[in-house]
Amino acid sequence: MRRPDTRQTILRHGPVVRIAHALLALSVIVLIVSGLGMAERLPGQAVSMLGGHVWLGDLHRQLGLVFGVAVAGLMLFGPAAGRRLIRDMCRFRRGDATWFRSFVRYVLAPSRHRPQSHDGRFDPGQRIVFAVILGSAAVLTVSAAALYLAPVGSTSLLAWALRIHVVAAVIFIAALAVHVLVGVGLLASHRNIGRVMFGDGRVKQGLAYTLWPTWTAGQITDSNADAVAGQQHGTPAAASGHTDLARRLDKARPE
Amino acid sequence: MSQRGKPRQTRRTSAQAGSPRRGLLIRITAGVAILAIVGAAIAIQAGGGADDPGVAFTINAPTDGATVSSPVTLDVALHGSQLGSPGDGLDHLHLSLDGGQPIAEYSSSRLPLQIPSGRHTLTVELAGPDHAPLLPDRSVTFTVTG
């Protein structure tokens, strides 16, 4: 396995994923703020500045409906890569449990410790946060559907749906806060990681190898294979790192 | 060895052929369910609570065209509805003066309002625990004297 070059960067997320993530983040921020404003959990002046209780309520209900349908539709009928991404986010392996202790040591002293190796596209900590975000988002969606569909006057059903919605929202926001704290690169252990989603999508090979060793090794191997294929076939596309093209060229090569 | 391997390969092939079809069927079923829920939600949103004949409200005071002094007593009579915390599944009022930003009132349907002198229109809306209006809003226009 080739060791990473700490000066080089590696592409973690392409433009489609980064744009989708930005749209998702924007929608979630609007839903959280409008939900808090509607429930009068923000200062009165802030609620007033944001358009008021009624306007925020309308925004929350209508955006929530569109958002829920769009996400469910994309998950069901969107590209298979999206479903693979969700599977990668939530798949846990034996041995992941012991990773956490090493990760805490790494976060506290990144220059002296390294987290334990794992073979996921995301590290076990990320996967737990993603699983909580996805799980609470599913509960939010189901409880919101119950709020939409409950008959007028069904006090008990509405109350339960709302309580579940609020508890799920609190869990969702807490998990999201962890995701944001790590993802913006405030921790010394994750310095400059923010550019992965809000920059050019690249991360230094050294950091990538520390956080996602197997995935990084695979990417480096792939890019080496592309370069080799490019040299063998003399195709600029393969030499420039077009993995699929290089693989197809390789398959098409006569034995 | 190769004969043993063959049936296994056949089983795997048929399973692989069935899996995408089953996956598609599940996705189509889920898609239809989502569409049904969305359709029902839109119908409920568009229709408000008008389907429920048991819920109604009227503005008892101030009366339309009245001349009153400040503080103006707003008295809303509720039928089939109870004000309270949305967390308890209860309804609330949205009050708006002269088309301004509505405020929410959760506790009482009878309350004094400090309103400056002049002619004003007060709009009242009954909202459910999800903050969606249950019925079309009602308005009264009145004059406040100093």
Check residue A231 and give its pLDDT.
54
The residue in chain A having the minimum alpha-carbon distance to the alpha carbon of residue B100 is A52
Both tokens of residue B141?
Answer: 């226009």
Domain match, A205 and A221 both: no
Res B34 pLDDT > 90: no
Domain match, A172 and A245 both: no
Name the residue facing A148 among B30, B44, B101 (closest C-beta).
B44
Res A24 pLDDT > 70: yes
Residue A130: pLDDT band with limits 50, 70, 90: very high
Domain match, A20 and A143 both: yes
Res A34 pLDDT > 70: yes
Domain match, A138 and A219 both: no
Both tokens of residue A92?
Answer: 């846990």
Count CB-CB contacts under 10 A for residue B51: 11
Check residue A71 and give its pLDDT.
87
Domain range for A236 is 213-255
In whole angstroms, give the CA distance from residue B30 to residue B28: 5
Q: Say what percent of chain A tops pLDDT 70.
A: 84
- Kindly report the CATH number assigned to the domain that includes residue A44: 1.20.950.20
Which residue carries 């076990």 as its tokens?
A124
Ranges A43-47, B21-25, B60-64, B142-146: which has the least confidence = B21-25
Peptide bond into B133 cis (omega under 30): no
Residues of B in contact with A77 (CB under 8 A): 27, 31
Q: Which residues of B touch A (CB under 8 A)?
A: 27, 30-31, 34, 37-38, 40-42, 44-45, 49, 51-52, 54-55, 80-82, 86-90, 94, 96, 101-104, 125, 127-132, 134
Residue A5: pLDDT band with limits 50, 70, 90: low
A150 or A3, which is more confident: A150
Task: Calculate mean pLDDT across residues A224-241.
Answer: 49
Instruction: Tell me whether residue A62 is in a domain.
Output: yes
Res A133 pLDDT > 90: yes
Check residue A216 and give its pLDDT.
92
Instruction: Tell me whether residue A26 is in a domain.
Output: yes
Domain match, A194 and A226 both: no
Ranges A160-164, A177-181, A219-223, A246-250: which has the least confidence = A246-250
- Strand ranges of the sheet holding B110-113, from the earlier edge strand across to the other edge: B56-61, B72-79, B110-113
Check residue B53 and give its pLDDT.
61
Alpha helical stretches, state H, A91-241:
96-108, 124-149, 155-183, 195-198, 205-211, 213-233, 236-239
Per the structure, the count of domains in chain A is 2
- Extents of the domains making up chain B: 1-47, 56-145
CATH class of B56-145: mainly beta
Domain match, A29 and A132 both: yes
